[in-house]
Amino acid sequence: MTDSEHDHLSDEAALENLLRTIDWWTEADCGLSDLCALRSLRHRLRALWPGSEAVAVSVVNQLLHKFDALPQMVRDGGTENYRLELLAPDGSVAAQLAIRTSMAVADLVQRGELHRLRLCARPECREVMVDLSRNGSKKFCAGRCGNRAAVAAYRARNASSGAVGDICRSGRHPARDIDP
């Protein structure tokens, strides 16, 4: 979820692509009403990053109430087993996504892992993320931010030692191209 200056939900096709990306595609047509509903939902969800436990609980409760989340028994995949799931009576994409997101955040709150909801560590980036790494140490979003930060750190280290300037001026690498 990002700001409008770099909107990943630009049209219905982008919404369908997002749903495929998160492996949550119902093959239902996504229309302009779904797109508008999800865009209006962003400001509520954005409050979760970085938010306190009290804010998260409030947002979860508000969304579950707003979309009339109802517990239903549903088949688990293609198996004979059932599981309990919260569903929206209207079945809209926005309602289903809001409810699933709310339940995922509720699970993080219950496990004391709300800290896994973070903003990308690159100051120029405004992307949000859920750190699902085993040790909870992920710093950057799924974009190029990690690579950009590594390159910037590399350049800063080399600039302080003068190595980058030597390479640029002479065309040679100082450690490898030693004069005989």
- The string of pLDDT tens digits covering residues 114-137 is 988 888 888 888 888 888 888 888
- Cβ-in-10-Å burial (0-12, 13-18, 19+) of 46 comes to middle
| Closest by CA position to 97, among listed 107, 106, 87, 83 | 87
Give dist(CA 13, CA 138) in Å, integer.
Answer: 30
CB 88 within 8 A of CB 50: no
**Residue 102 structure tokens:** 């709310």
176 residue type, one letter: R
CB 87 within 8 A of CB 97: no
CB 32 within 8 A of CB 26: no
Q: Tens of pLDDT along 71-82?
A: 999 887 778 899
Give dist(CA 40, CA 138) in Å, integer.
Answer: 28
Q: Which residues of the chain have pLDDT under 50?
A: 1-5, 164-165, 177, 179-180
CB 40 within 8 A of CB 95: no
Q: What is the pTM of this model?
A: 0.70
